Structure 1
């Protein structure tokens, strides 16, 4: 899920989701909704650029399901 990937990357970089939203002027709680709703490409690109990753990395579902 997109939000889970954002959280993972942000955690690895020592950045909180709140800080991402604040710095990018995204409404509080917006990113957490992205597991159930699709973000706009423009906002997703801003988040990816902020985290210095490719957008595709945020779109990949790395959870292993059995």
Structure 2
């Protein structure tokens, strides 16, 4: 799921979802709503860029990997 993937990347990078939303120019709670609706391409690209990934990887159907060494 998109929100889970973004949440995991935020945790890995030590930033909060709120901070990511603020830096991407999104409203508070916007990313959590992406579980119910699809984001605009420009908003998704902004988030991907801030997380150092691509929108394609954020939208991939692959399951979210858990921490290594588990």
* Alignment correspondent of 1:3: 3
TM-score, length-scaled by structure 1: 0.87
* Alignment correspondent of 1:12: 12
Shift of the alpha carbon at 1:60?
Answer: 1.8
TM-score, length-scaled by structure 2: 0.83
* Alignment correspondent of 1:55: 55
Shift of the alpha carbon at 1:56?
Answer: 1.4
Runs in 1 of length 4+ with deviation above 3 angstroms?
Answer: none
Gaps of 5+ in 1: none
Distance 2:39 2:47 in 1: 11
Q: How many residues are treated as equivalent by the alignment?
A: 63
Gaps of 5+ in 2: 65-70
* Alignment correspondent of 1:25: 25
Classify the secondary structure of the residue corresponding to 2:33.
helix
Point out which structure has higher relative CO (alpha carbons under 8 A, 6+ apart): 1
Aligned-residue CA RMSD (Å): 1.1
